[in-house]
Amino acid sequence: MAKIAFLSHVDYNLYLFRLPIMLRLKKLGWEVYAVCPKGNISNKFKDFGIEHIEYNVERKSLNPFKEIETIYELYRVLRPLNLDILHTFTYKPNIYGTIAGRLAKIPIIINLVEGLGSLYVEDSLKSRSMRKIIEILSSITFRLSDRCIVINSDDVNYLISKKILPKEKGILIKSVGIDSEEYNPKKIDSQKINQLRRELNLKDDQVVILMLSRLLIHKGVLEYFKSAEILKEKYGDKIEFLIAGNFDPGNFYNISKETLQNYIERKIIKFLGWRNDIKELLAISDIFVLPSYREGIPRTLLEAGSMGKPIITADTIGCKEVVEHGRNGFLVPIKDYISLAKSIEILINNEGMRKAFGEYSREKIIREFDIRNIVEQYLRLYNDLLNEKKYEKPKA
């Protein structure tokens, strides 16, 4: 039976987003490895019979000697595994994993691009220079690997049009998927919902607007705050704006702590910090908002849609894959907090529209983004590549 390793630069990337395909492969009898640095949840892989292989990487390092060390270390840990397939995720693992994988003579290497990132939002000299370097390295990587999965149509078209990704190697598999049975509004404990409403001091007749995000400028956090300020002035305690998430240590694009505190003190938003009760937060919410400037396909939109929520998001790459304007929510121009406020206000005043949008959200998520469908697409790709390389096809 085939051997496959999943390679990332952080443990939670594999645990939160790749576990379903790992478990399906285990069930089919594959040997499955999680290759990532040690982290807070890396020890959980063993609970599922998945071996964790540790390596070290400095996520923000640009030191060429450190990068060569990382490639060598990956080669050293990958070679003894005698893998059939190496599947890599995000920029550094894609680049370094592909080079190390070829040195280790792994027959099949698949990359995945989850989104082109903040370098494609900013247009500063530094961003343009970094984009050029990334695109050169990615072009080399994609020619060495066998396939590259891209999770939204705009990014795959961009990479192919710029001749960074050979057309015959580009595969579109939309999103990392969501378990629509886990994120099912009918399966949420009503006692937990009532308890959470009391904890957050929410009134029964309040319209609750929610954003889940790291506190980054590029996520549209400031636009969310400004739109909340406009609407709180008009509607007061009839509405409540919640935001759950936290700062991203070391990220240049964090909003300032002073800005956050200012909106908290003026009671424009309720800041909830990092939360583990996402399903319950969505259950108590009436409207979900994510005015991000650019995404791969944001998991928070999939979660909100699966929970049957109307969604307001930016009319931008990644986000617009999840929302059909006027069907399950609204698309607004990026950085436009006035349009954002107007769209939120429409839903505040129209309970019937919220319900209709929410129902269509769940239908769309089940149809296009359910994890079971995503896993099947991965399995077909793996088996097709094994057949191309004249491997025995694992029994399904």
User: For 3-177+370-388, CATH number?
Assistant: 3.40.50.2000
Domain 185-368 has CATH 3.90.180.10: no
DSSP assigned state of 275: -
Strands laid side by side in the 51-53 sheet:
51-53, 31-35, 3-7, 85-89, 108-113, 147-150, 170-172
Number of other CB atoms surrounding residue 192 within 10 Å: 14
Per-residue pLDDT, 291 = 98
**Residue pLDDT, tens place only, 13-52:** 999 899 999 999 999 999 999 999 999 899 999 999 999 9
| Better-predicted residue by pLDDT, 165 or 395 | 165
Per-residue pLDDT, 339 = 98
Contact indicator for 61, 79 with CB cutoff of 8 Å: no
| pLDDT(394) > 80 | no
Q: Which pLDDT band holds residue 181 (cuts at 50, 70, 90)?
A: very high
The CA distance from 249 to 262, in Å, is: 20
Contact indicator for 321, 297 with CB cutoff of 8 Å: yes
| pLDDT(241) > 90 | yes
The CA distance from 93 to 7, in Å, is: 6
**Residue pLDDT, tens place only, 336-388:** 999 999 999 999 999 999 999 999 999 999 999 999 999 999 999 999 999 98
Q: Which pLDDT band holds residue 123 (cuts at 50, 70, 90)?
A: confident
**Residues 6 or more apart whose Cβ sits within 8 Å of residue 51:** 32, 33, 34, 45
| pLDDT(396) > 50 | no
Helices 337-348, 351-368: inter-axial angle, 10-degree rounding: 110
Q: Which pLDDT band holds residue 391 (cuts at 50, 70, 90)?
A: low
| CA nearest to 268, candidates 293, 246, 235 | 235
Pairing of strands 311-314, 287-290: parallel
| pLDDT(265) > 80 | yes
Domains of the chain, residue spans: 3-177+370-388, 185-368
| pLDDT(126) > 90 | no
Number of other CB atoms surrounding residue 233 within 10 Å: 9
Q: One fold for both 3-177+370-388 and 185-368?
A: yes
